[in-house]
Amino acid sequence: MTQSDAPILIAGPTASGKSALALRLAALTNGCVINADALQVYSCWSVLSARPDESETRQAPHRLYGHVGKYDSYSTGHWLRQVETCLTEAKSEGLRPIIIGGTGLYFGALTQGLAPIPPVPDDIRAAGNALRLGAGKDGFLADLEREDPETLSGIDANNPARLQRAWEVLRTTGKGLSRWQADTPPPLVDPAKAVRLHLDADRDWLAERIERRFDLMMDHGALEEVEAYIADGWDATLPSAQAIGAKELVAYLRDELDLPTAIDLAKVQTRQYAKRQRTWFRNRMRDWTRLDPQKEVTEQTLEKLASTFS
């Protein structure tokens, strides 16, 4: 691995300035920006997921943005296989891969490997969705506490999506998710041969940016985007339906909330999501280079960062 093709990884919470940093590095290194955000993959969410706009995508090649349909199944495994293709293409085109996002599981799979877990059958997925709708996280907790406490001890017990994934893997394979993960193959990207940057934002600074950005989203058509999404129905269990703020705006469109309340609740959800991201990254990325997005990063510092890896 040479300096010119070593991947640059940029992780950080929502609204922390990852896209701007990626574009600066792309200009400096002849880079290709590759998405590592689980919501920005969906074609239905441009505004609400803060996907790079046309002015940004003109500045550098962008990959894995908005290419997945509303109803399509898309997993970390799908993403990892597509990233492998992107890395191969970037190398052949002489582009520096810059992988950017806020989905910790994607970065974990990329730099630590991903267990070859078989796909979940449709009937088990349907059962998991029904259990989640009927009992929420408690339905999964009871089964996992009894049948797979090892996996349960290692995941966020307040995250219904993570609990459902563990439950479905256990139902599909008869083997706990933690045991699958113990048999993980080598990673696609060796972390020692990549530039790893972690944007670690101050809570209050980030909260103000989240507030301003959501207001801009509303100005640029977030509500209309949600209207288009639910035109053929609303299924809250769909992975694409997990876009932060979507549920609150759906509630407004159904006359269950007034608009100011829906917006306030959406901002609260975004702040809580950012808090979970910050905690995850701080716990898992202690050996990444930490950057404070409140401080100016000079071109000289960028050049040094882009060339520093072991």
Tens digits of residue pLDDT in 83-96? 999 999 999 999 99
Tens digits of residue pLDDT in 213-261? 999 999 999 999 999 999 998 999 899 999 999 999 999 999 999 999 9
Q: Is 233 annotated as a binding residue?
A: no
Q: Is residue 1's pLDDT more than 70?
A: no
Q: Is residue 22's pLDDT more than 80?
A: yes
Q: Is residue 61's pLDDT more than 50?
A: yes
Tens digits of residue pLDDT in 163-222? 999 999 999 999 999 999 888 889 999 999 999 999 998 999 999 999 999 999 999 999
Q: How confident is the model at residue 38 (pLDDT cuts 50, 70, 90)?
A: very high
Q: Is 12 annotated as a binding residue?
A: yes
Q: Is 18 annotated as a binding residue?
A: yes
Average pLDDT over the chain, rounded to whole?
A: 94
Q: How confident is the model at residue 115 (pLDDT cuts 50, 70, 90)?
A: confident
Q: How confident is the model at residue 309 (pLDDT cuts 50, 70, 90)?
A: low
Residue whose pair of structure tokens reads 């088990």 in the numeric block: 124
Q: Is 14 annotated as a binding residue?
A: yes
Say what the pLDDT of residue 4 is. Answer: 61
Q: Is residue 3's pLDDT more than 60?
A: no
Contact 9, 196 (CB under 8 A): yes
Q: What average pLDDT score do residues 110-115 get?
A: 93
Q: Is 135 annotated as a binding residue?
A: no
In the chain the domains, ranked by start, together with CATH numbers, are 8-116+193-202+277-306 (3.40.50.300), 122-182 (1.10.20.140), 205-276 (1.10.287.890)
Q: pTM here?
A: 0.84
Q: Is 13 annotated as a binding residue?
A: yes
For residue 83 the two structure tokens come to: 């990233």
Say what the pLDDT of residue 73 is. Answer: 83
Cα–Cα separations (whole angstroms), residue 284 to 9, 50, 269, 277: 14, 24, 23, 10
Q: What average pLDDT score do residues 113-135 get?
A: 91
Q: Is 16 annotated as a binding residue?
A: yes
Indicate the burial class of 29 (C-beta count within 10 angstroms; 0-12, 13-18, 19 or more): buried
